């Protein structure tokens, strides 16, 4: 799953649903489900933990209208990352953060999703969401 590390207080504001736009100065090509992780610095309640998941539906230049949902002023070069369907991770777990978007191996159970099992060969089941095997 793609992940993004976010500093406090922003990660807590996203996890609470008060902030639905994250801003960066770069624009990824990726759209879809994303795991939001608290940066280790500065310290805070979600530091180093997978806090919530969301759908990244759009990335575009920030406008004055975005300030309300981004909880910050528009600044030069700002890109608005539009987040929808923000849901808390049932039991936050440790993740080693990185810069930019990065991949984290997660099991659906860890992020509060039901497995989507399929059987490509008899008696072998794989989850299309997290690649778990049963």
Tell me what percent of the residues of the chain surpass a pLDDT of 70.
89
Q: Which domains does the chain have, with CATH numbers?
A: 2-106 (2.30.130.30)
Residue 130 banded pLDDT, cuts 50, 70, 90: low
- How much is the CA Rg of the chain, to the nearest whole Å? 16
pLDDT digits (tens, 9 = 90+) for 31-68: 999 999 999 998 889 999 999 999 999 999 999 999 99
DSSP 24: E
CA distance 69 to 5: 19
Per-residue confidence (pLDDT) for residue 129, from 0 to 100 = 67
Cβ 30 vs Cβ 100: under 8 Å: no
Half-sphere exposure of 96 (CA within 13 A, CB side): 1
The answer on pLDDT for 12 being more than 80 is: yes
Per-residue pLDDT tens over the stretch 80-106: 999 999 999 888 888 988 899 998 877
Which of 12-21, 57-66, 110-119 has the lowest average pLDDT?
Answer: 110-119
In this prediction, residue 17 has a pLDDT band, given cuts at 50, 70 and 90, of very high
Residue identified by tokens 């994303």 is 34
Average pLDDT of span 7-18: 96
125 backbone dihedrals φ, ψ, rounded to 5°: -115, 135
Task: Judge if pTM exceeds 0.75.
Answer: yes
């Amino acid at each position: 799953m793609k992940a993004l590390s976010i500093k406090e207080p922003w990660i807590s504001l996203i996890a609470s649903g008060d902030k639905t736009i994250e801003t960066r100065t770069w624009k990824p090509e990726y759209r879809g489900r994303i795991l939001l992780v608290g940066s280790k610095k500065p310290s805070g309640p979600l530091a180093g933990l997978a806090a919530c998941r969301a759908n990244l539906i759009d990335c575009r230049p920030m406008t004055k209208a975005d300030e309300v949902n981004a909880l910050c002023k528009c600044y030069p070069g700002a890109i608005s990352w539009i987040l929808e369907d923000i849901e808390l991770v049932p039991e936050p777990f440790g993740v080693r953060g990185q810069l930019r978007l990065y991949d984290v191996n997660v099991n659906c159970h860890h992020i509060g999703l039901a497995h989507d099992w399929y059987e490509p060969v008899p008696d072998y089941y794989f989850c299309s969401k997290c690649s778990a095997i049963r």
